[in-house]
Chain A
Amino acid sequence: MVERLLMKGNEAIGEAAIHAGCRYYFGYPITPQSELTAYMAKRLLKMEGAAFIQAESEIAAINMVYGASAAGGRVMTSSSGPGISLKQEGISYLACAELPCVIVNIMRGGPGLGSIQPAQGDYFQATKGGGHGDYHLIVLAPSSVQELVDLTIKAFHLADKYRNPAMILGDGLLGQMMEPVQFKEFDKKSIPSKEDWVLGSCRGREPRKIVPFNLDPDELERLVNKIGQKYQEMKKEVEYEAINMDNPDIVIIAYGTVARVVKTTIQKAKKEGINMGLIRPITLYPFPYEVIREAAKQVEQILVVEMSLGQMLEDVKLAVEGQTRVSFYGRTGGVVISPVEVWEHVKRLLN
């Protein structure tokens, strides 16, 4: 039987990464994800053939990731909003050079130095590229500590599969909370061989060059289109949770921490005779446009709830294509939305 452990979210991500064969971590402390950096130090510094570096900056950390990935290492970095902003240049290079890695963003209130409380204001940055140029990250949004574990493992798998950086988009609440988790047996054979592209000794083969630029417009266009093709293929990785979608009075769309809050509201609503549905995107990129589009055909009201001014809202509207009414409820600044607030808002909408 698989053992159940009580773990803090940030530490669970670290253990999941190691469980998935990650042996290289480069990062810089920032609240509310610092326990993850500390956890990786504790584990990797004692591990043969592994490396942990507390980098001089987020910029250095992501470039260490770039080097380690080019050399074939299963590698991770983590941060929170301001640090993720600093990493953007390097993330764009990773995407262009088609180097896999996992980047964890435990979101806090922004913009600027913002706060250290949970928020979801980095949705645009995570799902729309974030750095310069045409690219996307694979973005996974956990809403429990168990999902932090499962999706971290999955993020490594998807990053390798598509040779593209993958991001875990959590928030300070998930990072700091404790829940029981299980680690299922990990199949090491699921890690694909990278021997046909990584840098190393070129004995018996042509020297390899990893070059994130091309001054010939036609050639660079070919590369950008090739990367663009991957985003099309990624669509089949869409994952979401749908709850109570049998003839609902209203459908809520929320991810991460907010989706947990909404689940509590659903119970409350049931007692009051209101049937609230929930669609929780688990992959934020690729985004579950189809399921939302289908839902929009059948319901009169969609409410998007986020800890932001309304960012995922734009993707929901793209999915809905004007077929039904879409409204929004959000809090910012590190204020965590309560089930009562959601309920009050739902009641107003239905009246």
Chain B
Amino acid sequence: MLKADNVTLGYGGRPVVHDVSVEVTEGGVGLIGESGSGKTTVARALLGLIKPMSGAITYGTRDLNALGRADRAAFRGQVQPVFQDGSEALDPRMRIGSSIAEALDAHHRLDRAARDARITELLESVGLDPALAERRPHQLSGGQRQRAVIARALAVEPDILVLDEPTSALDVTVQARVLDLLASLASSRGLTYFLITHNLAVVDRLCRTSQVLFAGRVVEAGPTRTLLTRPAHPYTAALRDAVPKIGGAPPKAVGKVEAAPATEGCAFQRRCPLATDVCRTVRPVAREVAGRSVACHRAEEVVGGQISGAQGG
């Protein structure tokens, strides 16, 4: 299994993600956070694209950053990325079929007939007309392109897909179909997802467990349903309450949502309606509260629902 153990990640010697541990386990793992939270950095590290400043990323029993060439190629076959904008993963000059063939060739030696049959099968498995193999990326709609990217990722028969906002560039009806596709592929092909997104409903759909990242630190982690129905961190609660619902109450803006994270004490204190003196001075450490891990001094009160009545400043 793919696993990050207490990794600190950064660029140019400056850490942006601190002490994050992730285990990409069956049922899928979601990483939730706003822009700038560091979630894409975690995804890049799990793909072996950046090296941790400290801590280790392991695949099975091997350290990802100590893999030899052959092992690294094998790893790339087992863990595949699917990013937000499908067009990035597809060479604009290449026909869709050629893009998929390229991925196939990297891992199997197939004759032409077998390769074409496999391309047809892959396109059909993501609900695309095999005739689209002859098209170039710009001749497809956004939803078709994202399906083609998924087909290309599946060509190498990976165990894990690292999905970075896979549906957020899509129209809502197209998003619904791509989510259905991902959900069915997870069971039919035994795929495991590591999904990063700001969309809580998407995580709920695809991941059994989740972590919430704020300012480069995991503030809450546990079963997705537990986090979304009874959050224990005020940030998780704020994210959930900000989501507009059809026919529901207007979205709630709690606290000063654009206040910069604090560097001392709890990073979330400036946005938190429950912050007290201890939050200003002592950085909360993760502990078990009501079936999940949470880093908040007042988690028990949040679980009890006190955040709902709290007024933001």
Q: Do A and B bind each other?
A: no
